[in-house]
Amino acid sequence: MERDRDTETSAAGEAQVAALLRLAGAAPALSEEELQPAREAARAVWRGRVRQRTARRQQVWTVGALAASVVAIVGVAWWMRRPVTPASPITIAALELSSGGVTVEPIPATPPRGAAPTLLAGTVLTSAADGRAALRLPGGASVRLDGSTRVRLVSPRALALEAGALYVDSGALPGAQIEIDTPLGRVTDLGTQFEVRLAPTSAASPELRLRVREGEVRVDADGVIHRAEAGSELRLTPDGSAQRAAVAADDAAWQWAARAAPAPEIEGQTLQWFLDREARELGLRWRLVEPRPERAPGEIVLHGSVEGLTPDEAIDVVLTGSGLRGERAAGELLISSVAR
């Protein structure tokens, strides 16, 4: 558009100059020296025109760049202010049992009928002196809280024990191993049953007491690795010293964990399945002795419920209902028929 206007103006000017030359008549020829000033003047006018057009183009480019900058700034502001979709909360555990004084923060959502409440990452459970709780982690591990315990759920495989004691039964389940952080070290299990407790001492800081019922447990205490195997107890004091002792699988010290175990659903299960489960809760091995039952435990199908009973009580009730009896002896549960 601009170039067309310049062309029209130039043509009009040339027509006026032609008319004046016709009126003036033929002009005498000019020498090269006389023509030089005119040529310099023409060049000056041409340079001025070029500078004006360049300036106009730069103005247009500058306005365009400013507009692009404004668009970019508005885009960044929109991106920064756009709503951010929060990540889905991570489910850490299911609360299978809670008795006595147990508080859960934050309070879990009400589950569907018959389902256990689910606990999310960051949940803190605190039990009173008479409180007990049992959790089921996604990998299948069972975690129980003793009285006067405080634990924080970090991830599906990590817990932080701040006070009291935890009992863990991860068994041989793949992916069930967990880590427990304590003020005196990080406890990692290798498919086992164990207790980790922050026990009070005369000093300001508690000691870490680890009891292993089955399998093996490792403790990383500021880079110093301690291992504890089945049947052993490891004590770590705040000054870093370690002491070891023996503890039997059926020692009375494990009773609290058995009382905190959720009752199994026995309807339709075999007696063998039940004995395997409940004897393990008590740290016992079971076997048949004389007089032997007429039917093998794997052939006896159970009915009913043992809800609200401890493993000891449940074993007595189920064996009696099956026409059998059980007797403890040297870490074993001896099963026989009732004498007629």
Residues 105-114 have a mean pLDDT of: 88
The whole-angstrom separation of Cα 256 and Cα 192 is 17
Q: Using 50, 70 and 90 to split pLDDT, how confident is the model at 23?
A: very low
Q: What confidence score (pLDDT) does residue 60 get?
A: 41
Tell me which amino acid residue 12 is.
Answer: A
Give the pTM.
Answer: 0.72
Burial classification of residue 129, based on how many CB atoms lie within 10 Å of its CB (0-12 exposed, 13-18 middle, 19 or more buried): exposed
175-224 residue pLDDT tens:
667 999 999 999 998 878 999 999 987 667 889 999 999 999 999 998 99
Same domain, 228 and 147: yes
- Spatial contact of 264 and 277, defined as CB atoms under 8 Å apart: yes
Domain-ending residue, one of 201, 235, 255: 255
> For residue 264, what pLDDT is reported?
94
The larger pLDDT score, comparing residue 49 to residue 94, is at 94
Structural domain includes residue 193: yes
Residue 70's pLDDT is 40
Q: Could you give the CA distance from residue 254 to residue 138 in angstroms, rounded to a whole number? A: 24
Pair type for strands 179-182 and 158-169? parallel
pLDDT score for 12: 46
Question: Same structural domain for residues 229 and 285?
Answer: no
Q: Which residue has the tokens 């007491």?
A: 209
Q: How far apart are CA 167 and CA 144, in angstroms?
A: 5
Q: Do both 123 and 188 map to the same domain? A: yes
Q: What is the pLDDT of residues 112-156, one digit of tens each?
A: 888 899 999 999 999 999 999 999 998 889 999 999 999 999 999
User: Residue 215's domain spans which residues?
Assistant: 91-255
Residue 340 has pLDDT above 70, yes or no: no
**Alpha carbons 22 and 18: distance in angstroms, whole number:** 6
Number of domains present in the structure of the chain: 2
pLDDT at 22: 47
Domain CATH number, residue 285 = 3.55.50.30
- Is it true that the peptide bond before 291 is cis, omega within 30 degrees of 0? yes
Least confident residue range of 167-181, 225-239, 306-320: 167-181
Residue 49: pLDDT band with limits 50, 70, 90: low
Distances (CA, A) of 124 to 93, 137, 282, 316: 12, 15, 28, 36
